[in-house]
Amino acid sequence: MKIAIIEDDNKIRNELSQFLIKYGYDVFAPENFKNLVSDVLHEKVQLILLDINLPVYDGYYFCREIRKISNVPIIIVTSRASDVDELMSMHLGADDFVTKPYNLQILLARISSILKRVYHLEIPQEITYNGVTLDISKSIVSFNDREIELTKNEVKILNILMKNIGKIVPRDEIMNELWQSDEFVDDNTLTVNINRLRKKLESIELDNFIITKRGQGYLI
């Protein structure tokens, strides 16, 4: 999936590119806006992140021009959080509207939800390590032909630990991940969840899969 980043601030453009690449997207981030419309179309991107407050070039103009030729989804980005801008963006045919500073998790979520909707794609639903496979869509973890069902929270916990193999994930970070999915767990609940998860992993012969690092967090 290729995403175009139309942003004039160098640092933001570079860092945003790096961030999206880390999450598995291809990025087209032009520095020169002279032939912006044709360049973007040439690259055949699947989504455009457009900063509406470009100094020399009118973001709205670009949006209109692109819309004349293509229906590629556009997410408009701005530091002006005014309703006027939001309305204007919608009228121009933008698909979504995000304010700076970016809440990166929200940005990612919106990108993937638009891509899913427009291109009928499924985001990768499986994560594997050392013979252990977590199927997110089915909420099942399997190892050596044995499998067991997990609760929504347990899936999220295992997911974040498996995304950070070899790195200690602090408790706070795991809790934050759960909170972002509307599960507002507290310290004790987290401990209970992790213990339950461990028991379930042990039942499919995965002993000591999750390691506790006292005072720091958990790791796989």
Partner 1 sequence: MNFIRFLKDKIAIITIIILALVFIAVLLLLTKVNTYVVFFVLLTLIGVTTACLYYEYFKKASFYKNLIKATNELDKKYLLSEIINSPDFFEGEILYDTLKISNKAMNDEISVYKLAMEEYREYIETWVHEIKTPISSSLLILENNQNEITKSLQEEIDKINKFVEQALFYSRSNTVEKDYIIKECNLKDIVKNCVKRNSKMLIKNKISVDIKVCDTLVFTDKKWIDFIINQIINNSIKYKSENSYIKFFAKENKNSISLYIKDNGIGIPKQDISRVFEKGFTGENGRLFSKSTGIGLYLCKKLCGKLGLKINIFSENGTTVEIVFPMGKLTNL
Binding site residues, partner 1, CB under 8 A: 9, 11-12, 15-16, 18-19, 22, 53, 79-84, 100-104, 172, 175-176, 179-180, 182, 184, 186-187
* In the complex, minimum distance from the CB of residue 198 to partner 1, in angstroms, rounded to a whole number: 22
Block residue for tokens 């032009």: 30
Q: Which is nearer to partner 1, 79 or 128 (CB)?
A: 79
Q: Which is nearer to partner 1, 67 or 100 (CB)?
A: 100
Residue 126 CA: distances (Å) to CA of 123, 144, 162, 208 = 9, 16, 11, 21
Backbone angles phi, psi at 70, to 5 degrees: -135, 155
* In the complex, minimum distance from the CB of residue 32 to partner 1, in angstroms, rounded to a whole number: 20
Neighbours of 15 (CB within 10 A): 13
Q: Which is nearer to partner 1, 51 or 154 (CB)?
A: 51
Q: How many CA atoms lie within 13 A of 116 on its CB side?
A: 10
* In the complex, minimum distance from the CB of residue 17 to partner 1, in angstroms, rounded to a whole number: 10
Q: Which is nearer to partner 1, 33 or 102 (CB)?
A: 102
* In the complex, minimum distance from the CB of residue 27 to partner 1, in angstroms, rounded to a whole number: 13
C-alpha closest to that of 210 among 219, 199, 201, 197: 219
